[in-house]
Amino acid sequence: MAYSQATFAGGCFWCIEAAFNTLHGVIKATSGYTGGEIKNPNYDSICSGQTGHAEVVQVTFDPTIINYQELLSIFFTLHDATQLNRQGNDIGTQYRSAIFYHDHNQQKLAQSYIDELSTDAVFDAPIVTTINALETFYPAEDYHQGYYQRNTEQGYCAMVISPKFNKFKAKFKNKLKPLQ
């Protein structure tokens, strides 16, 4: 069985990772960093806004169960693609909206999807999501992996992530892994 990968940046990676990890067909979603100038970045360095990296989630998925277009659709419901270098109160280039494609087909599908959203005026403002070739993906520190699931009562998780995550689960209940 050949799995595929997709990499998305849409603000804080805790929410994006939590959502993708609940989807049937997703083998794993890993929080990490990409799109910057330094090798082996860490959370403190990317939070400085000086490395150029974005907080991303790399999704390993079974394309016979869930395809890239479905992942794109879900990605655009998980964040506000019209906010430049921010998501809500999280501000900085590390919180930008971006798709990091793994091959030419993903690049074409991502551009086509953004064009369709723009033509259909799905958002009230222009989409600022960039489409970039994935160069190097750096997994985030272990404490970031599965952070939301382990810390649902933590302030940021309870106030910011839980409402978005619950809305996501209600909207995509037919796409969730069994027993979720």
Active site residue 15: no
Catalytically annotated residue among 12, 15, 47, 157: 12
Q: What share of the chain is helix, strand, coil (3-state, %, to 5)?
A: 40, 25, 40
Which phi-psi region, left, alpha or beta, contains residue 88 (left: φ > 0; alpha: ψ -120 to 50)? Answer: left
Which phi-psi region, left, alpha or beta, contains residue 148 (left: φ > 0; alpha: ψ -120 to 50)? Answer: alpha
Closest CA to 137 of 105, 98, 79, 104: 98
Coil, strand or helix at 34: strand
Separation of first and last alpha carbons in the chain: 24
Please list the active-site residues.
Answer: 12
